[in-house]
Amino acid sequence: MSTVLITGGTGAIGAALTEEFARTDDVIFTYNSNKEQARSLMGKLNCFCAPMDVSDINSVNNTVRNVLCEFGHIDILVNNAGISLIKPFLDTSYENWRRMIDVDLTGVFNVTRAVAPSMVSRKSGAVVNVSSVWGVYGASCEVAYSAAKAGVIGFTKALAKELGLSGITVNAVAPGVIDSPMNTVDLTEEELAELVGETPVNRLGKPSEVAKAVRALAENRFITGQVLGVDGGFGG
């Protein structure tokens, strides 16, 4: 049984990740503001939850320290926490940009930096980062989001080379158009239909499909530095 830390566990993909790993492993998922949703999820599954703001290094260090004290080690880290922003570039403020980078990119650094030393000392571990197809291809009116997710991909590839000798794999998934509030609420029906039409399988992806891909990357010890598109062929 592995100990798995999942950030951003209350969103659609986060909840699917928690459910996927909780079947076989000790899972601790984090949340920022959705306390009631976190408690509800914890009540349904055999798992644990903890508050954490990935953009706040002190919050991250405290939570990771508590997890390590309670469980002794973290075998798998899934950096899933993130926010989105759909806004034309000329309407994107510095504050918009800074917040996006702080959560979606610096958050990945903060949590991985806190967890990695214990993995290195044990010479074992797996990190899976949740990026996006927009980090690969870019999206109009989502410059800040695309840039942050592209940064996650660069972070993944570089860290995989650095930590490989310590027995740690580092990979990423790049979800496409997934059936989640981030897409179904933020996009109009016409925009969503257009994206589905650009996806060869001609449907929205399921959060559970992303979760299964993350598990596959976490468990395969000979895959590292890779970005797996979970996108129905989008952009291919």
* Residue 31 dihedral angles phi and psi, to the nearest 5°: -140, 160
Question: What amino acid occupies position 109?
Answer: F
Question: Among residues 17, 44, 6, which one has the least CA distance to residue 214?
Answer: 17
CB atoms inside a 10 Å sphere around CB 219: 12
Who contacts 4 (Cβ-Cβ below 8 Å, separation ≥6)?
21, 25, 26, 27, 28, 74, 75, 76, 77, 78, 218
Who contacts 145 (Cβ-Cβ below 8 Å, separation ≥6)?
84, 85, 86, 100, 104, 132, 134, 139
Site of tokens 């009116």: 141
DSSP code for 165: G
Question: What amino acid occupies position 194?
Answer: E
CB-count burial class (<10 Å; 0-12, 13-18, 19+) for 138: middle
Active site residues: 145
Indicate the length of the chain as a whole number.
236
